[in-house]
Amino acid sequence: MASGSQLDGKVAIVTGAANGIGRAIAHAFADEGAKVVLADIDEDAGEEVAAEISDRGGEAMFRYCDVGERLDVRNLVCAATDAHDRVDILVNNAGVVSREGDFLTLEEEEFDRIIRINLKGHFLAGQAVAQRMVAQVEEGGEPGTIINMSSINAVVAIPGQVAYAASKGGIKQLTEGMSLALAPWGIRVNAIGPGTIQTDQAETVNSDAEAKRVLLSRTPLGRIGKPSEIASIAVFLASDGASYMTGQTVYAEGGRLSLNYTALPLAKKKDGDKEKEV
């Protein structure tokens, strides 16, 4: 394990840390010297990540947490402070993708599920950790930092993912509101907005050649991102290098937002006996 220094001795909570981006962030933080508290509902995978970090010489512990449950979140923060006396960093990463479906038939229960985990979970964890951070500042400690996980879908929408886009748009605004509310204590709040990243959630793209072609056609860099690339942004935002940044969402999406159109498969319609592309 490389000896890190950017986050040396910091105590970091990472939610949704059992897989994908959260797992990569937990490893990157540990590599930079942080003591990592991993949270997830996948206990086996979470314990596995904690063991991986420990085996490489880092310091990590896992706690079960459903971020949509206030008591779970409170217990998570208490576990972190009991073990380390403070919390310096929170990465609000836990989130789910909604099941594909037409807006007209989107079930209320599915909409509630997405908002509960993706948006309410960010609020509950952010508030609980912020309260602890404020107390630490008032006791003479250093201010902490919170990183929320938004998405490119905070800006651009997908018709089959209306609930997901709504939750991520909410995270963008939650980030800005939190940053203003916590600025008097020097606590910074920023977000990361990934594009398509190579996680389990993106496996359908890899297995569907046409879906991958469409995705890459609207991604100027021409490839899918890696979890480690998002983790490196999280390290920066948590470090002193980002000490004058707050209320910002950093988009890592291969250049997609710079396009002024979305490249979708060409539709065809009849024009007399001829087909014309539109």
In the chain, the amino acid numbered 130 is A
Question: What confidence category does residue 267 fall into, taking pLDDT thresholds of 50, 70 and 90?
Answer: very low
Is residue 164 flagged as an active site residue? Answer: yes
pLDDT given at position 274: 38
Per-residue pLDDT at 2 exceeds 80: no
Note the pLDDT tens digit of each residue in 91-127.
999 999 988 788 999 999 999 999 999 999 999 999 9
Structure tokens at 106: 């989107």
In the set 64, 164, 244, 251, the catalytic residue is: 164
Q: How distant, in Å, are the alpha carbons of 77, 127, 136, 158, 193 from that of 90?
A: 10, 11, 14, 28, 16
Mapping DSSP to helix (H, G, I), strand (E, B) and coil, where does residue 95 land?
A: coil
Write down the domain spans for the chain.
11-253
pLDDT given at position 158: 83
pLDDT given at position 63: 98
User: Mean of the per-residue pLDDT values for the chain?
Assistant: 90
Question: What confidence category does residue 268 fall into, taking pLDDT thresholds of 50, 70 and 90?
Answer: very low
Output the CA torsion 96→193→259→219 (10° steps). Answer: -60
Give the global pTM. 0.89
Higher-scoring residue by pLDDT: 222, 145: 145
Instruction: Name the CATH topology of 11-253.
Output: Rossmann fold (3.40.50)
Q: How far apart are CA 144 and CA 42, in angstroms?
A: 27
Instruction: Work out the average pLDDT over 46-55.
Output: 98
235 Cβ partners below 8 Å, 6+ apart? 6, 7, 25, 28, 29, 32
pLDDT given at position 272: 44
pLDDT given at position 100: 73
